[in-house]
Amino acid sequence: MKALDRIVSAIQKQTYKFSKNNFQRKIGLIKKNRLYYLLIIPGILFFILFKYVPMYGIIIAFKEVMPFDGIKEMLAAPWVGLKHFETFFNSYYFPQLMRNTIVISGLKLLIGFPAPVIFAILLNEVRHTMFKRTIQTISYMPHFISMVVLAGLIVTLLTTDGGLVNNLIVKLGGSPIYFLGDNKYFRGVLILSSVWKDLGWNAIIYLAAITSVDPQLFEAARVDGAGKFRQIWNITLPSISNIVVIMLILSIGNILEAGFEQVLLLYSQPVYETGDIIDTFVYRRGIQQMDYSFATAVGFFKSAIAFVLVIAANTIAKKFGKESIW
């Protein structure tokens, strides 16, 4: 027994020594890189104050909070459990809202996700420096346009009363089309304008990934007789596949984000059938009618779905041997 006690004591001493040395090593690294840690403090504070602290307000979704209630009144508000969730799920508009949200966000993902990848690959193949920089600048600019301004431009271009697009249609012998008031065209306007706005900006990360690919791989491929398409397919795409997978995982988490501002600024009652999404419904019910508990419940529902989708996408990526978020 004494021998066993000595062995256990020796192991404990070694473990303590290792832990102490490991702790001191980490402290040393922090001191060495203290300037880098200072740089990330504002970002950490931002997420704590504006992302984590507001999570306390989730309890509103399970209470009956009245408009203009303060913190004390909110804490003392009656607990209603899943009442607001049931109200939303049993709503007459729930199937339509879910369908519109998933279809619009799904089409934006289907078209808008590969578009920047393709654009970055094509732009990387441009050898004329001035032309390449000009295209980059032009493609980035729409991202910095406010959604309000963008909506105004779209309305001006597509209006039946002197709009550029309808004027062109009339000159070609067609009839004016009310794009923003017709269910056949409204979703197309949303998707194309969204892709156009963020195409150049979203391509930046893929351009950066492509420029990090070893140029010797392309030189070896050219020596072996591979053309541009084969080089893109066998070198460029595999080299940036990890970045593409990570961006796809993050995009899947926003599958229920169909673009609240864009839809709110462009839609009208005639296109509710195809354009009314969860966020616009919550805006009318939660903000205009001041039903804050209901709005919080729907927001919590969306966040829970997004969390599950991100976990699922990340797990699938790991199983296929691709780069994942964690």
Token pair in block for residue 14: 């070694």
The answer to whether residues 288 and 143 belong to one domain is: yes
In tens, the pLDDT along 257-298 reads 778 888 888 888 888 888 888 888 888 887 778 888 888 888
The answer to whether residues 6 and 100 belong to one domain is: no
Q: Is residue 277 part of a domain?
A: yes
Q: Is residue 42 part of a domain?
A: no
The total domain count for the chain is: 2
Q: What is the pLDDT of residue 69?
A: 67
Domain that holds residue 18: 1-25
The answer to whether residues 3 and 133 belong to one domain is: no
Q: What is the pLDDT of residue 326?
A: 60
The answer to whether residues 8 and 99 belong to one domain is: no
Q: Is residue 138 part of a domain?
A: yes
Average pLDDT score over residue span 204-227: 84
The answer to whether residues 111 and 253 belong to one domain is: yes
Q: Is residue 80 part of a domain?
A: no
d(CA 93, CA 102): 14
Mean pLDDT in the chain? 81
Q: What is the pLDDT of residue 285?
A: 81
The CA-atom distances, in angstroms, between 139 and each of 120, 142, 152, 199, 218 are 11, 7, 19, 7, 27
d(CA 115, CA 274): 24
In tens, the pLDDT along 229-246 reads 888 888 888 888 888 888
Q: Is residue 67 part of a domain?
A: no
In tens, the pLDDT along 55-112 reads 777 888 888 877 766 667 777 778 888 888 888 888 888 889 889 988 998 898 889 8
d(CA 202, CA 196): 11
Q: What is the pLDDT of residue 79?
A: 83
Question: Residue type for 296, please?
Answer: T
Q: Is residue 160 part of a domain?
A: yes
Torsional sign, CA 30, 33, 38, 41: negative
Residues 6 or more apart whose CB falls under 8 angstroms from that of 302 comprise 256, 257, 278
The answer to whether residues 242 and 150 belong to one domain is: yes
Q: Is residue 303 part of a domain?
A: yes
The answer to whether residues 196 and 310 belong to one domain is: yes
Q: What is the pLDDT of residue 235?
A: 84
CATH number of domain containing 221: 1.10.3720.10
The answer to whether residues 155 and 21 belong to one domain is: no
The answer to whether residues 21 and 99 belong to one domain is: no
d(CA 262, CA 257): 11
